[in-house]
A and B are shown apart, each in its own frame.
Chain A
Amino acid sequence: MNFNATLIGQSITFIVFVWFCMKFIWPPVMNALETRKNKIADGLAAAERGKHEKELAEERAKDILREAKEQAGEIIGRADKRAAEIVDDAKGDARVEGDRLKTAAQAEIEQELNRVREELRGQVVSIALAGAGKVLEREIDEAAHGELLNKLAADI
């Protein structure tokens, strides 16, 4: 154990090293650590905010969805009602149209019937006149009895 100038040399070296460390090593490292700490804190706060916002958005989305569902239900109800109406209308129209067609067909049938009856009546008159003429031969004057016979035919 010899004490010598190494003691002094060592002390000076030590002081220089500490000075260097204090000047050039400690501050930048601590600075980086501090900055990172703040950054992380900011990040966490932002994440928290984001989470909160997400919750709000979800809430809003739920509201909107519910509203949309309600609206859709209403629209479907209205549409159903309208469809029923349309079907009812169509049914009514069809019935009316059918009735109309039926009436027209009946009228036509009636008309045809009348025409045929008229024709038949004319022919009956002619046949009756011809028959009477043959039976009576001279007594019957076409002009004098024609009117009588036509009256007869109209009565048939």
Chain B
Amino acid sequence: MASDTLTTSGYIKHHLTNLTYGRFPEGHEHAGHWGFAHSTEDAASMGFWAINVDSMLFSVGLGVLFLWLFRKAAKTATADTPPGWQNFVEWIVEFIDENVRGSFSGKNPLVAPLALTLFVWIFLMNVMDLIPVDWIPWAATLMGVGHLKVVSSTDPNVTFGLAIPVFILVLYYSVKMKGLGGFLGELAFHPFPKWMAPVNLILEGVTLIARPLSHSLRLFGNMYAGEMIFILIALMYGGGIVLGAFGGLLQLGWAIFHILIITLQAFIFMVLTIVYLDMACAKDH
């Protein structure tokens, strides 16, 4: 724990604060200097040009782990009897491929690898949620790092960082497949007849914008809430043996249930990506 006096709200706040690196603004005691934010307010005051070091570290680390593990299998992939790890990779790849074939009607070499990356990467980031909430931050504190959020997918920057490129891809394919006119026409002439184009535009525009928002906020919300419950359960360990033991049981139960949630959220994010891209590539509505 970073603070010496441990209060419940302090503990929760501490766990929900990112390790943000940026430039302190005017009026701060370290004004003009670069450094790590000491609190959420500090981080907010740093403005846009700051970076959540913990989110980047864990997401990039897990992403590289995923790519390395899968590349290892891909390099030695043979048509003969697959050895253990290759078999596992093939199982996942086939699972993704089946889903893409089922939901995506066109032919596009990008969609399936995109879906694979999203599924495994998000799954790995979510898995960090199952590690007891205090372990890694505690180790970080010992090394002098004040804040550390281990689960990257509880950082909206990360989930939006995934959803926005997908949204850009959707826009790109929409324009590419239907032409700019076709795409705008789809927005303007859709539910109501042509003379109500402004209303249509607003309706369809909202639908369009809602997609990346719901896409990323769904993942963020689920993981954030799950993390929060883990933190609340962890608070019970401070309440004596009986409450602590009960907390242990609860944590076990919630963690087992969470295995379902983290897989499901990764899967939903992937499926939605495929469906959005399919809608973008579909010729007729």
One digit per residue, 1 when the CB lies within 8 angstroms of any chain A CB and 0 when it does not, for chain B 74-95 equals 1101111010001001100110
B116 touches A13 (CB 8 A): no
B73 at the interface (CB under 8 A from A): yes
> Do B52 and A36 touch across chains, with their CB atoms under 8 A apart?
no
Chain A residues whose CB sits within 8 angstroms of the CB of B18 once the complex forms: 2
Q: Does A156 contact B (CB under 8 A)?
A: no
Decide if B165 touches A11 in the complex (CB within 8 Å): yes
A6 with B114: CB separation less than 8 A: no
Q: Is B155 an interface residue (CB 8 A)?
A: yes
CB distance from B45 to the nearest CB of A (A): 9
Does B243 sit within 8 A of A, measured CB to CB?
Answer: no
Contacting residues of chain A (1-53) with chain B, CB-CB under 8 angstroms:
1-11, 13-15, 17-18, 20-22, 24-26, 28-33, 35-36, 39
Question: A-side binding surface: helix, strand, loop or mixed?
Answer: helix
Write the nearest CB–CB distance from A12 to chain B, whole angstroms.
9
Q: B271 at interface (Cβ–Cβ under 8 A)?
A: no
Q: Which B residues are CB-close (under 8 A) to A22?
A: 109-110, 113-114
> Does the CB pair B112–A26 fall under 8 Å?
yes
Given A4-B52, A6-B161, also A25-B63 (CB < 8 A) = no
A28 to B156 alpha-carbon distance, docked (Å):
34
Asked if B134 is an interface residue, CB under 8 A from chain A, the answer is no
In the complex, are the beta carbons of B89 and A29 less than 8 A apart?
A: yes
Residues of B within 8 A of A15 (CB): 165
Q: Which residues of B contact A14 (CB under 8 A)?
A: 117, 161-162, 165
Q: Contact between A33 and B90 (Cβ–Cβ < 8 Å)? A: yes
Asked if B114 and A33 sit within 8 Å, CB to CB, the answer is no
A83: shortest Cβ distance to chain B, in Å? 65
The answer to whether B20 and A21 touch across the interface, beta carbons within 8 angstroms, is no
Judge whether B158 is part of the interface by a CB distance below 8 angstroms: yes
User: Once the chains are docked, how many angstroms separate the CA of A31 from the CA of B165?
Assistant: 28
Q: In the complex the two chains form, is A4's CB within 8 Å of B63's CB?
A: no
Residues of A contacting B74 in the complex (Cβ-Cβ under 8 angstroms): 24-26, 28-29
Residues of A within 8 A of B79 (CB): 32, 35-36, 39
* CB under 8 Å from chain A, chain B span 20-54: 20, 22, 40, 43-44, 46-52
Give how many A-B residue pairs fall within 8 Å (CB-CB).
Answer: 127
For window 82-137 of B, CB contacts with A under 8 Å fall at 82, 86, 89-90, 93-94, 97, 109-110, 112-114, 116-117, 121
A136 to B70, CA, bound (A): 159
Are A9 and B90 in touch, CB under 8 angstroms?
A: no
Q: For B228, list chain A residues within 8 Å (CB).
A: none
CA distance A36 to B121 in the complex (A): 27
CA distance in complex: A21, B116 (Å): 8
A6 / chain B contacts, CB cutoff of 8 Å:
51-52, 55-56, 155, 157-158, 161
The reply to whether A3 and B70 form a contact with Cβ atoms under 8 Å apart is no
Q: Of B47, B90, B114, which one neighbours A18 at CB under 8 angstroms?
A: B114
CB pair B55 A10 closer than 8 Å? yes
Q: Contact: A21 with B70, CB < 8 Å?
A: yes
Q: Find chain B residues with CB under 8 A from A1 CB.
A: 156
Instruction: Pick from B43, B56, B70: contact of A10, CB below 8 A.
Output: B56
**Chain A residue nearest in CB terms to B43:** A2
Q: Which 8 A-B pairs have the closest CB atoms?
A: A10-B161, A35-B79, A6-B157, A32-B77, A22-B113, A26-B113, A28-B74, A36-B79
A-B contact pairs, 17 of them (CB 8 A): A2-B44, A3-B160, A4-B47, A4-B52, A6-B52, A6-B161, A9-B161, A10-B161, A11-B162, A13-B161, A18-B114, A25-B113, A25-B116, A26-B116, A30-B97, A32-B86, A33-B94
